[in-house]
Amino acid sequence: MTKQQVLSSMIDIGIVPVVRTTSMDAAVRAIEAIYNGGIRAAEITMTVPGALKALERVADMFGDKIVLGAGTVLDPETARVCMLAGAQFFVTPSLKLSTIEMARRYSKVICPGALTPTEVLTAWEAGADFVKVFPCGNVGGPKYIKALKGPFPQIAMVPTGGVNLETAGDFLKAGAAAVAVGGELVDGKLIQENRYDLIEERARQYLAVIARARAEIQGIV
């Protein structure tokens, strides 16, 4: 996929599942469940044991049928090895300009973490494609996104933290370009219990919430 195709897909899908599991196999199986539930995007965090192998396996399994990203990318070196493993977008928990530079050098989508207005603008000016507002739930949730969108209507924001089935729609209505969801979707307890079917069902529920919120935004409902 080209960078523009990845960007368009992420916005169209509207949700980035954050896959943070205790094993590589669990990460791959969780992504299969998410995919079967209809979500064609996933982010594997670098905290997953064997994360690079998980990226390679998912890239081999799905190819361009899924938009695959690497999360918790702390430095440009990690971004580069994830790129080689098949990641098409990169998410960082904090703002590191050299990681943004690395992604731009290879025309890859970068979503750096930021929280304050200064960090959000700095990330955007450095070339971020989206700005991950993290931890959003701890500082006001959708209200905080709405407040940031006042002075920064041009910045595409993806809130992370505090996003669940109840709040996902509110984040979109507040102006978020998409939302990122971790344990509320890829639930560690469900994985322990081998209930990947319930993760699949939850993926469908999130897509329904997003579709409903977008319809309301457009005045269809």
Segment 68-103, tens digit of pLDDT:
999 999 999 999 999 999 999 999 999 999 999 999
pLDDT band, very low/low/confident/very high, at 132 (cuts 50, 70, 90): very high
**3-215: what CATH class?**
alpha beta
**pLDDT band for position 220 (50/70/90)?**
low
* Closest alpha carbon to 156 in 133, 139, 135: 133
- Check if the beta carbon of residue 21 is closer than 8 Å to that of residue 123: no
Residue 219's pLDDT band (cuts 50, 70, 90): confident
Residue tagged active-site, from 32, 43, 108, 200: 43
pTM higher than 0.85, yes or no? yes
Helix (H, G, I), strand (E, B) or coil at 188: helix
The number of helix segments (H) and strand segments (E) in the chain equals: 10, 9
Point out the catalytic residue in the list 32, 96, 132, 200.
Answer: 132
From 186, 165, 159, 179, select the one nearest 45 (Cα to Cα).
Answer: 186
Question: Comparing C-alpha atoms, which of 15, 5, 7 is closest to residue 204?
Answer: 15
Per-residue pLDDT averaged across 174-194, rounded? Answer: 97
Return the pLDDT at 159: 98
Nearest to 165 by CA among 184, 178, 179: 184
Judged by DSSP in three states, 187 sits in coil
132 has catalytic annotation:
yes
Distance from the Cα of residue 113 to its chain's centroid: 11
Residue type for position 62: F
Catalytic site residue 173?
no
